[in-house]
Amino acid sequence: MIDFLLGFRDYVLVFLAMITVVVFVHEMGHYLVARANGVRVETFSIGFGPELFGRTAKSGTRWKICLLPLGGYVRMFGDADAPGISAADRLARLTPDERRLAFLGKRLDQRAAVVVAGPLANFVFGILVLAVMFSLYGEPRTQAVIGEVQPDSAAAAAGLLAGDRIVEANGDTVASFQDLQRIVRLTVGDPVTLVVERAGQRLSILTRPRMSEVKDALGNTYRAPVLGVIAPADATTIVRHDPAGAVWAAVRNTGEMVSATLTAVGQMIAGERDTNELRGPLRIAKGAGAAARLGFATVVYYAALISINLGLVNLFPVPLLDGGHLLFYGIEALRGRPLGPRAQEYGFRFGLILVFALMLLATRNDLADLKVWDIIKSIVS
């Protein structure tokens, strides 16, 4: 019973707390910029479905918590769904005073600012959290020195030796073992040219990483290209940062994460990378549970990563996401007028189908990773 309660706390409550925080940050970004631009906000909701509890502020905004906690939204005055009716027609139905408070009555740049504020808030939150972590706990960095070459590995076949210091990979500077891992895992098994320092000399060595199953610190297992080298046990140091250095380190880590994610998504679209790496809520919850068991600092770090990823995903140019709205606004800026209601309706239908299909794929991946299908087969058989 105790194990069940601990598991429920780690895998459910911690996960819901993380999601609630990052969703609140996202929606608060929309809310603050909307209010700064004179938009009346009707609803600020954490979760979907029936309202559990809430209150109405003096501004008229209904702040509420709903039954289904996986998400949230901010509903602005004059932005209610009206299929087949153009923004101009919806505005025409409002009085002059109402138009001044309506989201649709604002200039294009104001509307774009409100939309981009949500993802931007997630990025700022993630960077600030990482900066605080790097200030308080330091940033772990592992020297790019080979401590051990695994037998029958790509590294052994290429002639890498223990004691080699890797300084470049495919022309990119390697300052740490983490840099090497990031570069290699984005190659999808393509050859990697390394520049290593050995006995005071620099050598260029061509390696061919091999696809293998790897497990990260949070217990997630996936296939990725690996060289087969291990850093020395004493190669990891904790780099202490002053506040300015911590912010820069957080920005650098965020940039590397965003770049790696965009590269991986592009490889999936091109069919070069397995889509099994797409994670849904079940594996995110699994990661939250693993983070909880590693300690509070790991939970906070994981929440920062989720926030940054949420901000990035919402900027994808898919109708239904914030990036889709920004895409429509970009088209409006080029055309001098918005797309017609039918074009927007078809766009949002396409976005809904695409988002739903990706959710199904990610959930299938989660179930496969958690061996749910194997459990069902064993029960049925």
Q: What is the pLDDT of residues 21-62, one digit of tens each?
A: 999 999 999 999 999 999 999 999 999 999 999 999 998 999
- Delimiting residues of CATH 2.30.42.10 domain(s) in the chain: 139-239
Quote the longest CA-to-CA distance of the chain: 79
Residue 152 backbone class (left: φ over 0; alpha: ψ -120 to 50; beta: rest): left
Q: Give the contacts of 376 (CB within 8 A, at least 6 positions apart).
A: none
For all residues of the chain together, what is the average pLDDT?
86
Whole-model pTM: value is: 0.86
Read off φ and ψ for residue 306, nearest 5 degrees: -60, -40
Regarding the domain delimited by 139-239, which CATH topology (the fold level of the hierarchy) does it fall under? Pdz3 Domain (2.30.42)
The mean pLDDT of 8-26, rounded to a whole number, is: 85
Which residue would you say has higher pLDDT here, 214 or 262? 262
Q: How far apart are CA 358 and CA 279, in angstroms?
A: 10
pLDDT, residue 371, reads: 63
Token pair in block for residue 196: 């290593």
The mean pLDDT of 245-251, rounded to a whole number, is: 94
User: Residue 290's closest CA among 6, 24, 5, 70?
Assistant: 6
Q: Which residue carries 């590995």 as its tokens?
A: 153
pLDDT, residue 220, reads: 67
Of the candidate ranges 66-70, 186-190, 238-242, 248-252, the one whose mean pLDDT is the lowest? 186-190
Which of the given ranges, 2-16, 50-64, 185-199, 284-298, has the highest pLDDT on average? 50-64
Q: What is the pLDDT of residues 346-379, one digit of tens each?
A: 888 888 898 888 888 888 877 777 765 555 555 5
The mean pLDDT of 212-241, rounded to a whole number, is: 80
pLDDT, residue 4, reads: 46
pLDDT at 204 over 70: yes
User: Residue 29's closest CA among 121, 104, 115, 95?
Assistant: 121
The identity of residue 306, as a single letter, is: I
Q: Which residue carries 């797409």 as its tokens?
A: 278
pLDDT at 112 over 90: yes
Q: Which residues are catalytic?
A: 27
pLDDT at 338 over 70: yes
